[in-house]
Structure 1
Amino acid sequence: MQPPSRLLRFVHTADLHLGSRVITLPGMDSQTSSGLTDATYTAWQSIIDLCIREAVDFLLIAGDVYDSADRNIRAQLQFRDGLRQLEKHGIAAYIVHGNHDPANAWSRSIQLPKNAHCFSSEEPEVIIHRDQDGTPIAAIAGMSFATAHIRENLAERFPPRDREWPFTIGLLHCSIGGAIGHEPYAPCSIDDLKVCGYEYWALGHIHQPAMIASGDPYIIYAGNPQGRDMGETGDRGCRLVTVGPDGSVGIEPVRTGSYHWDLIEIDISGAVDLGILEERIRERLAAISEEAGGPIITRLILTGVTPLHHELAGGGITALAERLTEDTPTGKHPVYPERIISRTTPRINREEIIARDDILGEICKKSAGLLSGDKKEITKAIAPLYISYARSYLNQPDDEEMCAIIEEAEALLLSRLAAGGIE
């Protein structure tokens, strides 16, 4: 590698999904609801502000700027406006199209500014980025998706690194090793990327931020800059990368998401009073609020063995949810309960029940078989619940979520039947 003659700095982002739907909740004030609706645009502006504040050399965008299925012209205009801000500060932007914003879906009537370069979808291109003095400080190899469904391994088409190139970056929207929860578009392996001899791979498509390899080369999924539902929990942002004249690489995650989605599990073992339980939940949420970097939307999961199990299943959960929605837990940042799920269990000896030959034993045997076996049958059975208006907001459950549904259903059946006098 030929290290840059001076400090090189760039921002790596991906999967902006500008204008895509973000769930709002009942009980939210109008300002928060509006802010959540525009959260993807706010995250984009945060990335632009970061580039300007840190005076980076360029911005890398690894696909899925917006969702082409929505034909969202506002999203494309907002994207262009952000690039114009960078142009005023002499900051370049290098972009590849992904499966949600393929080259054939961009509006030809919206011209991007001159500082932005969109890589070809026909063959990989290599751009030598030069500083204001004309000195080459980085080589960027990239290739876009021509259409939405690319099954070809595009990484195999990238050229090997030329020994004369400066610090070299691969920019690609792809799926490494069949990532769970994402379509295997442009599938490739780590070895496919390593063989090119680049120093850094700036990847998009996987929304969960991840460092696949921490050097030789660095292989990074920036993740999406703003979580949009409970499938995208945790901090979301971009990567600020600094390359020293000695070739050292520093990678800093920078949060850009205004709203934080989170799953919070609360063990309520031994709880015997709903009023005291509500206070325990509020105390937990207040503590989380103090540590958060912004508003939180949370799904509460109650676990443990408790005498309250029957009462929770019989309407207690609904009552708790309504009270928390009407009176949002306060703290440093607001906390909005998206849903409360009871995964508590009654005081029932499951091992004894599964050995029985009655209906309770049959329920336990059936759920045990579903938990350990192929879940295709039950997934097919509940699929119609997700093929509706709600499909824009809900993902079909993965295996882990399906196991939780089965366990919850078993607990509910056992508790209802036991409460009805079957022992």
Structure 2
Amino acid sequence: MANQPLRFIHCADLHLDSPYKGLFNLPDKIFSDIKNSTFIAYERLIDLAIEEQVDFVLFVGDLFDQHSASLKSTVRLKKGLQRLNEHHINAYISYGNHDYGIGQKADLSFPPNTHVFKSEKVSKFVYSKNDVEVASIYGFSYEQREVKDSKVGEYQIEDNTLTNIATLHGSLESNHEHATYAPFLLESLRKQNFDYWALGHIHKREILSENPPVVYPGNIQGRHIKETDEKGCYLVEMNNNESNLYFHSLQEILFQEIALDGSSVEESDELLKLIESLKEDIRNQNGKTIVRLNLMISNVLAQNLSSNDREELHQLANESEEDETTWVWLKDIKFSEHIEYDRNQLKQSKQFIGEVITTIDEQVSIKSYVDDLMKNGVFKKMDWLDEEREQQIMYEAEQFLMQELLKDGSDDK
């Protein structure tokens, strides 16, 4: 790695002007905010690059959401790149499976600071700083809808005296949750001896390897309820053999799935107040948020709330949000019933459910059931399974079992 330090931003999957499929019955103002959210996140990305005075920005695929980008998205993209140009910040762009062959479909004349990998064959650009060559940046762009073959073998370092960075829009061969494009094995990336692997395509932020860094920054703005929590980019500092990564959130709108325990409430108006209190907390902490609410209610209230009542409760909870500058919209409410039961009495019985409770009590730890999960470097690093979390998981598992076994009033299943 070269001695001269580098600071850059790694981002991917901007999906500018996303159509936001799957969001229905929204007030016009809220839908307008959602439609504009990718552009706001992009502007924050450009602001961050300028404020941090980075050397360059890596855009690793799927800048657009559709195979033929909208005029609005191309105009906004170019304005941002022009701002980088005015501050002498380079940009390196590769196109992904959502914007394959975009150069032939839209007017994408960029300012001189912007360098585009135009071919599906891996190529490189050399970045110079203070008239000294510092880094080689490798990558390719999709020329067709799918790239099914591995591209890793095409990444061949040409000058080991420079910092060598590889950009790759693709996925692990073992990842079956998404369409597998430009597949790779983690060990294959490590063998290529690059100093940094800048990945794109997977919208969940993840550091697959720390030495060398193999990194998915995730997308810059969630687009549906499955893309929860903060979204943004990594600010990367590289100096000699050290790399430091700093995540920066960029999203305008947060998607969250939240559980709320309303089992102690027996009146619908009190339940509504509880929901409204939760929404105020979310509003103050997160800003604009779309929520899937998993709501636990008492069996008394469950019997009294008809399907129409539940729908009306949902509507009332969202009623005033259109007038809020910082809105919190409940996309849906999933009701579940809290079952009251005498645990000791059931445990002492000779019925099947008593045996279930006895088995639960004999289970000292759940660690043996999550061994494979704990081997994953991300979970090990998080140290997420402490004693309190383990007890909470066991409690929630018992509640789920009791709901299923007792939901129709029977305890002899």
TM over 0.5: yes
Q: What is the 5 A alignment of 1:324-363?
A: 324-328=317-321, 333-346=326-339
Secondary structure of the 2:329 match is strand
Is 1:236 paired with 2:234?
no
- Quote the Cα distance in structure 2 between the aligned partners of 1:302 and 1:329: 23
Residue of structure 1 equivalent to 2:373: none
- Quote the Cα distance in structure 1 between the aligned partners of 2:309 and 2:152: 53
Residue of structure 1 equivalent to 2:385: none
Q: CA deviation at 1:247?
A: 3.6
Percent of aligned positions that are identical: 28
- Quote the Cα distance in structure 2 between the aligned partners of 1:346 and 1:315: 22
Q: CA deviation at 1:333?
A: 4.0
Residue of structure 2 equivalent to 1:85: 83
- Quote the Cα distance in structure 2 between the aligned partners of 1:273 and 1:329: 26
Query: Judging changes above 3 Å, is the alpha-carbon distance between structure 1 residues 190 and 49 closer, same or farther for their aligned structure 2 residues?
Result: same
Which of residues 225, 243, 250 is equivalent to 1:249?
Answer: 243
Residue of structure 1 equivalent to 2:145: 148
Residue of structure 1 equivalent to 2:212: 217
Query: Judging changes above 3 Å, is the alpha-carbon distance between structure 1 residues 102 and 277 closer, same or farther for their aligned structure 2 residues?
Result: same
Q: Deviations over 1:59-96 (max 9, x none)?
A: 10000011333542322222122111111111111111
Q: CA deviation at 1:313?
A: 5.1
Residue of structure 1 equivalent to 2:380: none
Is 1:264 paired with 2:258?
yes
Residue of structure 1 equivalent to 2:291: 298
Query: Judging changes above 3 Å, is the alpha-carbon distance between structure 1 residues 27 and 176 closer, same or farther for their aligned structure 2 residues?
Result: closer
Residue of structure 2 equivalent to 1:60: 58
Query: Judging changes above 3 Å, is the alpha-carbon distance between structure 1 residues 330 and 73 closer, same or farther for their aligned structure 2 residues?
Result: closer
Query: Judging changes above 3 Å, is the alpha-carbon distance between structure 1 residues 160 and 316 closer, same or farther for their aligned structure 2 residues?
Result: same
- May I ask how many residue pairs the two structures share in their alignment? 359
Residue of structure 1 equivalent to 2:73: 75
- Quote the Cα distance in structure 2 between the aligned partners of 1:148 and 1:105: 14
Query: Judging changes above 3 Å, is the alpha-carbon distance between structure 1 residues 53 and 25 closer, same or farther for their aligned structure 2 residues?
Result: farther
Q: CA deviation at 1:38?
A: 1.1
Q: What is the 5 A alignment of 1:169-208?
A: 169-208=165-204
Q: CA deviation at 1:178?
A: 3.5
- Quote the Cα distance in structure 1 between the aligned partners of 2:26 and 2:2: 56
Mean alpha-carbon deviation: is it higher for 49-58 or for 281-290?
281-290
Residue of structure 1 equivalent to 2:394: none
Mapped contact 1:27–1:325 kept (Cα < 8 A):
no
Query: Judging changes above 3 Å, is the alpha-carbon distance between structure 1 residues 36 and 306 closer, same or farther for their aligned structure 2 residues?
Result: same
Query: Judging changes above 3 Å, is the alpha-carbon distance between structure 1 residues 121 and 20 closer, same or farther for their aligned structure 2 residues?
Result: same
Query: Judging changes above 3 Å, is the alpha-carbon distance between structure 1 residues 307 and 240 closer, same or farther for their aligned structure 2 residues?
Result: same
Secondary structure of the 1:263 match is strand
Mapped contact 2:275–2:317 kept (Cα < 8 A):
no
- Quote the Cα distance in structure 2 between the aligned partners of 1:28 and 1:332: 13
Instruction: Give TM-score scaled by structure 2 length.
Output: 0.78
Query: Judging changes above 3 Å, is the alpha-carbon distance between structure 1 residues 9 and 232 closer, same or farther for their aligned structure 2 residues?
Result: same
- Quote the Cα distance in structure 1 between the aligned partners of 2:317 and 2:132: 59
Q: CA deviation at 1:35?
A: 2.1
Mapped contact 2:27–2:322 kept (Cα < 8 A):
no
Mapped contact 1:12–1:61 kept (Cα < 8 A):
yes
Q: CA deviation at 1:233?
A: 0.9
- Quote the Cα distance in structure 1 between the aligned partners of 2:297 and 2:156: 56
Residue of structure 2 equivalent to 1:2: 2
Mapped contact 1:170–1:200 kept (Cα < 8 A):
yes
* Structure 1 residue identity aligned to 2:217: A
Secondary structure of the 2:300 match is coil
Ranges in structure 1 where 5+ consecutive residues have no aligned partner: 357-406
Query: Judging changes above 3 Å, is the alpha-carbon distance between structure 1 residues 43 and 332 closer, same or farther for their aligned structure 2 residues?
Result: closer
Ranges in structure 2 where 5+ consecutive residues have no aligned partner: 354-398
Mapped contact 1:43–1:226 kept (Cα < 8 A):
yes
Mapped contact 1:289–1:331 kept (Cα < 8 A):
no
Q: CA deviation at 1:186?
A: 0.7
Mapped contact 1:297–1:336 kept (Cα < 8 A):
yes
- Quote the Cα distance in structure 1 between the aligned partners of 2:120 and 2:284: 50
Instruction: Give TM-score scaled by structure 1 length.
Output: 0.76
Q: Deviations over 1:291-348 (max 9, x none)?
A: 22x2111111113653222334533321211111113399994311111111225558
- Quote the Cα distance in structure 1 between the aligned partners of 2:70 and 2:289: 27
Residue of structure 1 equivalent to 2:101: 103
Q: CA deviation at 1:122?
A: 3.7
Q: CA deviation at 1:157?
A: 1.7
Which of residues 309, 314, 321 is equivalent to 1:316?
Answer: 309
Q: CA deviation at 1:285?
A: 2.1
- Quote the Cα distance in structure 1 between the aligned partners of 2:290 and 2:33: 13
Residue of structure 2 equivalent to 1:289: 283
Which of residues 114, 117, 125 is equivalent to 1:116?
Answer: 114
Secondary structure of the 1:69 match is coil
Query: Judging changes above 3 Å, is the alpha-carbon distance between structure 1 residues 104 and 296 closer, same or farther for their aligned structure 2 residues?
Result: closer
- Quote the Cα distance in structure 1 between the aligned partners of 2:295 and 2:48: 39
Is 1:135 paired with 2:132?
yes
- Quote the Cα distance in structure 2 between the aligned partners of 1:45 and 1:219: 26
